């Protein structure tokens, strides 16, 4: 009986894992989001994995063994619960598939503050501290420059923990 499982892939080798797993007849899915980035001074849109390094696979372990999947180039291991690979609820996967292309799930660089902009942290360990926005650190975090003991320190904080001054 086929089930969805979660794999951990080797660093930056999700595409390689997909190609090799497809050859074995394994259905693969890793949700992606469109992100606007500044590359070589120009704003460009590109797709990035929503969960970097992770991929969902759909297969029957009686037809293809766990060892075969785990030994595939680009794959590091299964996410496990105890000794057995953890299954993922199909509703979660189908929900991700349906929401992947919706506008509200698109991450845009314009929603981030501009580098050098002064902000105030509203939550977390740096609550109440004024900071200077540096750059995004993935989709949910940002690098901020804060002043600790008279020295500027670069820290990574949750995006929801900042508010513009």
Residue 131 sits in the same domain as residue 79: no
What's 49's domain CATH number? 3.30.70.940
What's 124's domain CATH number? 2.30.30.30
Residue 55 sits in the same domain as residue 128: no
Q: Do the beta carbons of residue 97 and residue 122 sit within 8 Å?
A: no
Residue 118 sits in the same domain as residue 101: no
Order of strands across the sheet that contains 162-164: 151-158, 141-148, 130-137, 118-121, 162-164
Mean pLDDT of the chain: 78
pLDDT-derived band at 108, boundaries 50, 70, 90:
very low
Residue 89 sits in the same domain as residue 143: no
pLDDT in tens, 37-82: 777 777 788 888 888 889 999 999 999 999 999 999 999 999 888 8
Residue 25 sits in the same domain as residue 85: yes
Residue 84 sits in the same domain as residue 34: yes
- Distances in whole angstroms, Cα of residue 58 to Cα of each of 42, 45, 68: 38, 29, 14
Please check the confidence at residue 86 and state whether its pLDDT lies above 70: yes
> Quick check: helix, strand or coil at residue 12?
coil
pLDDT value for 132: 72
Residue 90 sits in the same domain as residue 132: no
pLDDT in tens, 124-138: 666 777 777 666 555
């Amino acid at each position: 009986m086929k089930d969805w499982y979660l794999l951990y892939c080797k660093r930056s080798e999700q595409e390689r894992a997909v190609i090799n797993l497809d050859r074995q007849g394994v259905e693969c899915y890793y949700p992606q989001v469109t992100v606007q980035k500044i590359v070589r001074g120009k704003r460009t849109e590109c797709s990035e994995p929503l969960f970097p390094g992770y991929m969902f696979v759909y297969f029957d372990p009686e037809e293809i063994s766990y060892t075969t999947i785990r030994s595939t180039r680009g794959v590091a291991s299964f996410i496990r619960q105890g000794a057995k690979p953890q299954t993922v609820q199909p509703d979660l996967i189908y929900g991700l598939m349906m929401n992947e292309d919706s506008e509200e799930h698109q991450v845009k660089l314009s929603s981030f503050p501009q580098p050098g902009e002064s902000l105030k942290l509203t939550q977390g360990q740096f609550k109440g501290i004024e900071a200077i926005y540096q750059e995004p650190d993935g989709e949910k975090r940002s690098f901020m420059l804060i002043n600790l003991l008279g020295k500027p320190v670069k820290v990574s904080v949750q995006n929801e923990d900042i508010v513009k001054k």
